[in-house]
């Protein structure tokens, strides 16, 4: 991870989005919530509400939060820009606005 | 006796999956001759290994096909999960739309496959620099 200011914000925002998704999947009564990223990706893919129609935009922002946060952590040559940090802010806001009303 | 032994198919020494230490199927009567001779042993991969390699090859080809819109694609195994790294210029909406389409195609064509897709942005670097260590390349756009 580089010394770029606030780069960790992206990671924190990804995990905030992840917990929203997890809460949604638990609410929907899956047979056991996903226990890893692979299972969660499959659950999102298999859920029409999360992956099709308006869900498509949600899927884009969630996938971007996940991939950028991974690159921040695991790609030593990657430096998040101010635009990346701002994008993570709007992506989390989009994910939150989409998921939260669907929670019981 | 040594020549006779090698005329019979039963004396062809084939071991699967590992280098043979010595020939098999050669009678005790010729063992003394055989032990002093240099024996060429044909080593083949086991049928199971061939099947596994074939399956991996087919899967690599499938991943390369469905993710062919990306600059490059790398894969890595982690337990039961196949990690797919799609390499693009940047983290833009278009790349994520292509990624979702490719992911859906892969799931449809390989039901039951546990996989996770990651997008890696090059931002001017070579795809091979961006790919995780230990991953293998299955696609490069020409």
* B37 has a pLDDT exceeding 60: no
Q: Does B114 touch chain A (CB under 8 A)?
A: yes
Which is nearest to B6 in space by CA: B27, B22, B21, B20? Answer: B27
Q: Please tell me the predicted confidence (pLDDT) of residue B14.
A: 45
- Ordered structural domains, chain B, with CATH: 2-44 (no CATH), 47-140 (3.30.70.1350)
CB atoms near residue A40 (< 10 Å): 19
Residue A49 domain-assigned (yes or no) = yes
Q: How far apart are CA B123 and CA A80, in angstroms?
A: 11
Residue A63 domain-assigned (yes or no) = yes
Q: Provide the CA A63 distance to its chain's centre, in angstroms.
A: 6
- Return the residue in B66, B91, B104 with the most chain A beta carbons within 10 A, the one to mutate for interface testing: B91
The shortest C-alpha distance from A42 to chain B (Å) reads: 8
Structurally, chain A folds into a number of domains equal to 1
pLDDT digit string (tens) for B38-77? 666 677 777 666 667 788 889 999 999 999 999 999 999 9
- Is residue B27 classed as helix, strand or coil in its secondary structure? coil
The shortest C-alpha distance from B113 to chain A (Å) reads: 10
Residue A33 domain-assigned (yes or no) = yes
Q: Please tell me the predicted confidence (pLDDT) of residue B130.
A: 96
Residue A56 domain-assigned (yes or no) = yes
Residue A3 domain-assigned (yes or no) = no
Please name the residue ranges forming H helices in A1-104: 8-27, 37-46, 48-51, 55-74, 82-99
Q: How far apart are CA B130 and CA B142, in angstroms?
A: 18
Beta bridge partners of B139: B73
Q: Does B55 touch chain A (CB under 8 A)?
A: no
CB atoms near residue B124 (< 10 Å): 7
**Type and span of the H or E element at B136:** strand B136-140
Has this prediction a pTM greater than 0.90? no
Whether residue A45 and residue B114 make contact (CB cut-off 8 A), yes or no, is no
The shortest C-alpha distance from B74 to chain A (Å) reads: 15
Q: Please tell me the predicted confidence (pLDDT) of residue A20.
A: 96
Whether residue B116 and residue A41 make contact (CB cut-off 8 A), yes or no, is yes
Q: Does B109 touch chain A (CB under 8 A)?
A: no
CB atoms near residue B80 (< 10 Å): 9
pLDDT digit string (tens) for B74-122? 999 998 899 999 999 999 999 999 999 999 999 999 999 999 999 999 9
The shortest C-alpha distance from B88 to chain A (Å) reads: 12
**CB-CB neighbors (< 8 A) of A70 in chain B:** 118
Q: Does B115 touch chain A (CB under 8 A)?
A: yes
Q: Please tell me the predicted confidence (pLDDT) of residue B70.
A: 98
Whether residue A87 and residue B91 make contact (CB cut-off 8 A), yes or no, is yes
- Is residue B56 classed as helix, strand or coil in its secondary structure? helix
* B27 has a pLDDT exceeding 50: no
Residue A58 domain-assigned (yes or no) = yes
Q: Please tell me the predicted confidence (pLDDT) of residue B71.
A: 96
Token pair 């299955």 is found at B138
* B25 has a pLDDT exceeding 50: no
Residue A2 domain-assigned (yes or no) = no
Residue A1 domain-assigned (yes or no) = no
Q: Look up the domain containing A70 and give its range.
A: 8-102
Q: Could you give the angle at which helices B93-109 and B47-66 cross, rounded to 10 degrees?
A: 140
Token pair 């580089």 is found at A2
Q: Please tell me the predicted confidence (pLDDT) of residue B101.
A: 96
Indicate the pairing of strand B136-140 with strand B115-121: unpaired
* B35 has a pLDDT exceeding 60: no
**Residues 56-75, chain B: which have Cβ within 8 Å of A?**
none
What are the mean pLDDT values of chain A's consecutive 10-residue runs (104 residues total)?
74 97 90 86 92 92 98 95 96 97 91
| Residue B123 Rama label (left phi>0; alpha psi -120 to 50; beta) | left
Buried b (16+ CB within 10 A) or exposed e, B7-16: eeeebebebe
């Amino acid at each position: 991870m580089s010394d770029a200011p606030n780069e960790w914000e992206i990671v924190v925002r990804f995990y905030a989005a992840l917990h929203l998704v997890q809460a949604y999947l638990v609410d929907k009564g899956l047979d056991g919530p996903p226990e890893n990223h692979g299972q969660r990706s499959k659950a999102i893919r298999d859920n029409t509400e999360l992956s099709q129609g308006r869900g498509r935009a949600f899927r884009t922002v969630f996938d971007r939060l996940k991939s950028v946060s991974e690159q921040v952590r695991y790609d030593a040559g990657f430096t998040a820009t101010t635009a990346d940090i701002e994008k993570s802010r709007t992506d989390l806001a989009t994910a939150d606005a989409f998921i939260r009303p669907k929670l019981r | 006796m040594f020549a006779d032994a090698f005329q019979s198919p039963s004396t062809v020494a084939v071991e699967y999956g590992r280098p043979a230490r010595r020939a098999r199927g050669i009678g005790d009567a010729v063992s003394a001759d055989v032990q002093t001779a240099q024996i060429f042993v044909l080593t083949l991969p086991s049928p199971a290994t061939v099947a596994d390699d074939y399956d991996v090859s087919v899967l690599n080809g499938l991943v390369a096909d469905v993710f062919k819109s990306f600059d490059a694609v790398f894969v890595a195994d982690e337990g039961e999960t196949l990690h797919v790294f799609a390499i693009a210029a940047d983290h833009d909406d278009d790349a994520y739309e292509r990624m979702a389409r490719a992911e859906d195609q892969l799931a449809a064509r390989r039901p039951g496959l546990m996989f996770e897709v990651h997008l890696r942005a090059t931002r001017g670097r070579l795809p091979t620099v961006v790919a995780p260590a230990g991953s293998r390349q299955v696609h490069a756009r020409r």
